[in-house]
Structure 1
Amino acid sequence: MKQWKIYTMLLLVMFFWGANVPILKYLVAEVPPVTLTGFRILVAGIVVILILWKMKLIRKPFKHEWKYIFLGTITNVVGHHYFLNMGLSITSGTHGGLILGTGPILTAISAAIILKYFPTKVQWIGLLLGLAGLSLAVLVGSETQGANIGDFYVFLAIFAQVLSYMVISKAARTLNPLLMTAYMMLIGAPIIILISFIQEPGAILAFGETTQKFWWLFIASAIVCTAIGHLMYNYAVGQAGPTKAAIFMNFNPLFAMILSAIFLGEILNYRHFLGLILIVAGVMLGSGAAEDMWKKHKVKKE
């Protein structure tokens, strides 16, 4: 596939994921967050498995792969989606989007600790810039009641997802990440639903009190943003490489901010935009994307 088509695909995925933040913010106001998450992920998992079945990529995992699927389920599905929806039920879509934008930085730090890959000085500068942007946009003078605990939940969500990347990278030696994603969703969704029965008893009845608008957004979030979005992203990363894909991650918080302001009526101020600039700069430096681009530029000049 041509490069411009891959880049268009990555940009579209970032739009899907950015749009998913205000969509989830709306959905969790209608149905309690844990109950909503369980059934949304279940629908996404069914769609993914059907697509992979059509692509003839379904197979039974080997015995040694089940431990990675279990760890990935706990971090990527249960941990990430539980805390994300809990956080968005309290904080704003704008704050949620900005925090999710720190994912590439956290990935670099986690790789240093878990995979023994130590960041360069430039990457450490990127980390500091990213944390400064996060602090400026989120932690200083929040106007949303209860936002701090909600922001913390969203941070735990992205941290859990980053940890899952370490698991998925090891499992990918023998197990297709797309197939692993399907298994994680189908196993993780019932776990979240079980948690919802304990934490939110009777909340499933709230689905019967929703509107047609709710169901259209629920389908968009589950099928387009989560199922198709993950499949497209994994394919595009395989074509463009993780470095270029990391650059496109910068659009995620940007779309989340803009769409939250448009559809949720959230107020943006200078702290949000300055924080976004610092986070984007931090991602470019902290993920190693800037250094890789500079090295390639020097090679071309030589």
Structure 2
Amino acid sequence: MPRWIYGLLVTVVVMIWGFNVIALKVLVHHFDPVTMTSFRIFVAGFVVFVMMGLIGKLKKLTWTEMKLVGAAGLFNVVFHHFFLAIGLTLTTASNSGLILGTLPLLTALMSMKFLGDRFTWFRGLGILFGLLGVSFIVLNGKSHLGQVSIGDFYVFLAALSQAISFILVKRASNTMDVRVLTGWMFLFGSAVLFLVSLAIEPHGLARFSNGNIQVWLLFLCSAIFATGLGHMIYNKSLQRLGATEAAIFTNLSPFFTLIGSYFFLNEPITFAQMSGFVLIILGVILGSGVINDQNKTQRMRKEQDQAI
């Protein structure tokens, strides 16, 4: 498929992830967060395995692939979600949103270090515009950035963990189907996260009785569409676009969360927030490599015309 189709798919996935934040806000009111997250990710992994089994893509993993799956599961599922959950209890939402907005920058820097990606001026400007846009959104309203706290550090570790996982997924995609990788990563990570939840949330399983039909339907939609299918599509697009370009699209997530809050939580949308969205769009256009691709195509056509 053309690159623009993968870009469109990533945009849809990020939209679902943005709306998923609204769903998670509801779910954590009924369930303990770490216990709920471990089960949600397990369901997502199960769904991925069923789909891969139906299309005949399941296969045995080599020892090298197992090590990559384990490492990606630890960083993408265990470390990311654990540090984020703890960090959110110790710092403000504004600080958390801004720090998580550094994910594309962290991914780009690591891609240059470990994958040999070229960091162009267009991508640099894209990351800068994306960060400015996220800042407009998360700093709007009464919240203001305060001093760096231990909570800020935990949220940074969450972003760093996810950036590392993107590099591991990209590297593992050289020898295995990333959709299969996603399923194994979820199953392994959810098992470890569940063991962690037993230690820090001893009554987490008992609280599952607090859920009604609507809450469980929301849980299943979050697990299947946002986590299972969403990450499967994102990781496949990451394989095609590259870690840096795919991560740029995550800057759209705060905007879709904003839209979801407006329709489902009756929260107003301000001019500052819309200004942030415009900056994010500029960041996606510059950072996704679209302009670079167009310039490269124009140069190739010019060279062909001169040769003729």
Matched, 1:39 2:39: yes
Following TM superposition, by how much is the alpha carbon of 1:58 offset from its aligned partner in structure 2, in angstroms?
A: 1.4
1:198 equivalent in structure 2 = 199
2:129 equivalent in structure 1 = 129
The correspondence of residues 56-205 of structure 1 with structure 2, limited to 5 A, is 56-86=56-86, 103-139=103-139, 142-143=142-143, 155-205=156-206
What amino acid sits opposite 1:44 in the alignment? A
Instruction: Give the conservation status (yes or no) of the 8 Å contact 1:136–1:272.
Output: yes
Q: Secondary structure at the match of 1:38?
A: helix
Instruction: Give the conservation status (yes or no) of the 8 Å contact 1:34–1:85.
Output: yes
What amino acid sits opposite 2:15 in the alignment? F
Matched, 1:207 2:220: no
- Whole-Å separation in 2 of the counterparts to 1:282 and 1:82: 29
Instruction: Give the conservation status (yes or no) of the 8 Å contact 2:44–2:186.
Output: yes
What amino acid sits opposite 1:39 in the alignment? F
Instruction: Give the conservation status (yes or no) of the 8 Å contact 2:80–2:159.
Output: yes
- Whole-Å separation in 2 of the counterparts to 1:227 and 1:84: 19
The correspondence of residues 145-294 of structure 1 with structure 2, limited to 5 A, is 155-235=156-236, 241-242=241-242, 249=250, 251-294=252-295
Following TM superposition, by how much is the alpha carbon of 1:256 offset from its aligned partner in structure 2, in angstroms?
A: 1.9
What amino acid sits opposite 1:191 in the alignment? V
- Mark the CA change 1:29 to 1:187 in structure 2 (over 3 Å): closer, same or farther: same
Q: Secondary structure at the match of 1:202?
A: coil
- Mark the CA change 1:248 to 1:122 in structure 2 (over 3 Å): closer, same or farther: closer
- Mark the CA change 1:203 to 1:8 in structure 2 (over 3 Å): closer, same or farther: same
- Whole-Å separation in 2 of the counterparts to 1:286 and 1:250: 11
Following TM superposition, by how much is the alpha carbon of 1:125 offset from its aligned partner in structure 2, in angstroms?
A: 2.9
Following TM superposition, by how much is the alpha carbon of 1:279 offset from its aligned partner in structure 2, in angstroms?
A: 3.1
- Mark the CA change 1:133 to 1:28 in structure 2 (over 3 Å): closer, same or farther: same
What amino acid sits opposite 1:213 in the alignment? Q
Following TM superposition, by how much is the alpha carbon of 1:121 offset from its aligned partner in structure 2, in angstroms?
A: 2.9
- Mark the CA change 1:290 to 1:11 in structure 2 (over 3 Å): closer, same or farther: same
TM-score by length of 1: 0.81
1:49 equivalent in structure 2 = 49
Instruction: Give the conservation status (yes or no) of the 8 Å contact 1:133–1:275.
Output: yes
Q: Please identify, of 186-195 and 150-159, the stretch whose mean Cα deviation from structure 2 is larger.
A: 150-159
What amino acid sits opposite 1:72 in the alignment? A
Quick one: percent identity of the two aligned structures?
Answer: 38
Root-mean-square deviation over aligned CA pairs: 3.6
- Whole-Å separation in 2 of the counterparts to 1:276 and 1:120: 23
- Whole-Å separation in 2 of the counterparts to 1:207 and 1:174: 39
Following TM superposition, by how much is the alpha carbon of 1:49 offset from its aligned partner in structure 2, in angstroms?
A: 1.1
Following TM superposition, by how much is the alpha carbon of 1:113 offset from its aligned partner in structure 2, in angstroms?
A: 3.2
The size of the alignment, in residue pairs, is 301
TM-score by length of 2: 0.80
Unaligned runs of 5+ in 2: none
Q: Secondary structure at the match of 1:203?
A: coil
Instruction: Give the conservation status (yes or no) of the 8 Å contact 2:94–2:139.
Output: no
- Mark the CA change 1:91 to 1:270 in structure 2 (over 3 Å): closer, same or farther: farther
- Whole-Å separation in 1 of the counterparts to 2:270 and 2:130: 18
Following TM superposition, by how much is the alpha carbon of 1:68 offset from its aligned partner in structure 2, in angstroms?
A: 0.8
Instruction: Give the conservation status (yes or no) of the 8 Å contact 2:20–2:222.
Output: yes
- Whole-Å separation in 1 of the counterparts to 2:98 and 2:217: 25
- Mark the CA change 1:138 to 1:19 in structure 2 (over 3 Å): closer, same or farther: closer
- Mark the CA change 1:67 to 1:236 in structure 2 (over 3 Å): closer, same or farther: closer
- Whole-Å separation in 2 of the counterparts to 1:281 and 1:86: 32
Q: Secondary structure at the match of 1:179?
A: helix
Q: Secondary structure at the match of 1:266?
A: coil
- Give per-residue Cα distances to partners, 1:140-182, cap 9 Å, x unaligned: 7653999x87776555434322211111111112122111111
Instruction: Give the conservation status (yes or no) of the 8 Å contact 2:249–2:284.
Output: no
Structure label with greater radius of gyration? 2
